[in-house]
Structure 1
Amino acid sequence: MKNQTELKSILASWDERDISILAILCDLDEDTASVAAITKQIRWLYHSRTRHSIKRNLKRFVMKDSNMDMPCPTYEALLTGAAKKLGIHKHCTSVDDFERYIPQAVIVAALARMNPPQRDRFFTEEFNATPMWEAAGIKSREIGGLRTAASVLALANASGYAVYAGATTALGFATHAVGITLPYAAYTGLSATIAQLIGPPGWLALATYGFFKVTDTDWNKLMPVLLTIIAAKSRYEILSDHKT
């Protein structure tokens, strides 16, 4: 992808709630974290390999720890890296492809690793999906009300909201997998329910998010961060469309 988007330009217009969510995921103080602090932490996580290689020499470490040598990844760089870890990058040719396929890949991986009762609950247990739609300013009787997680994703795809619904669902899996607890509002409805349905935290951690190695990018922490950015970015775009 030729066009590259700086993360700070995406986060600049986010409200305090969304910034707080990213701060929690980045292990920062949610009450004081700034966009600059968050992008610095993302840069730090993204360059885990470089950090590992330079820790052996303190002087080299000091020299390398600069924006020039370890720049903050662009949004497109994060998308590409995540897609490679999920083994789907060859099928992605645009930002839209990445934003649709990455959450779908996380969801499929999660379903494949569920035990039968967990998977059955995903397909059959109903919950109130209305808060999720209301968070994005979507008011429709056709897609609101009681739904199963599977039916919400199907309706979202048919209604043009596949990225938003897919990313919030995948975020529920990703945060739950590594034992991260976020405020209910962070999930805008759907993902909080997903986290409740699939059982105790940690059951998916080793199976799906065993990506991180000491010499590689820390996708254990970056995947939830990226899914949050995808979900919130999509929500803001939907809200913007409703205003026009």
Structure 2
Amino acid sequence: MDRKIRCIIVDDEPLARKVLVKHTEQIDQLEVVAVCANAVDAFCHLQKGNIDLVFLDIKMPKINGLELLESLNPAPLVVFTTAYREFAIKAFELDAIDYLLKPISMGRFMKTIAKANKYLSGQSISQPQQPSKVASETSTSAEPEPLYIKAQRKIIKLDLSHITYLESLNDKVIIHTLDNEITTSQRIGHFSEKLPKERFIRIHRSFMIAVDKVSAFNSIMVEINGKELPIGRNYRSHVLDILQNTSD
């Protein structure tokens, strides 16, 4: 394709939007027309036409990504960008060209752009990956092994993408997830060793966070799901380096 690929980014998480913008800036062929925090704003941009490609989150307030795509006729090429595997079948039923699990590596992103370019150039390409292939590819390129936690007199298997932050309280650790809390007697130091350092960082002697779940931060705190967590003095320099590099 000779001209630039005009695209929009749709995601309600500021950090996720910044990651995608950063990826697109490294590919000259992409032109980001709009960056939207919700599906309604994206719909307005799409009604103007002349959009080739949409990077679309699924779980968003009011109207989710799947509902947005179903409302479009005709629709541009759509790549779903999400932390959830379970919507893959529905996504491919709606003819999405790819399904990227967060955190999205640059290498995986480049494969998607190559596929989009072939679609837009009218070249013959293979069928989009089926959900089983999505799971196997992303588990090796982006998604580490699940975390096994001793809690409630059993072993609980936890998807890392569901974790928002960990809180050390007395002799327990509370693992906060997107929709639940799990209390374990395993110490926070144990999780500092087990969790992937590129995704989770210690910000305080009592708190460890998932970097991609941070919605805002300053020199003394991070905000996750509307809750402000303190940054300890001894951790401040490292934490700010990580968060500023992620948000660049």
Q: TM-score, normalised by structure 2?
A: 0.30
Structure ranking higher on relative contact order (CA contacts 8 Å, 6+ apart): 1
If each structure's helix is expressed as a fraction of its own residues, which one has the higher value? Answer: 1
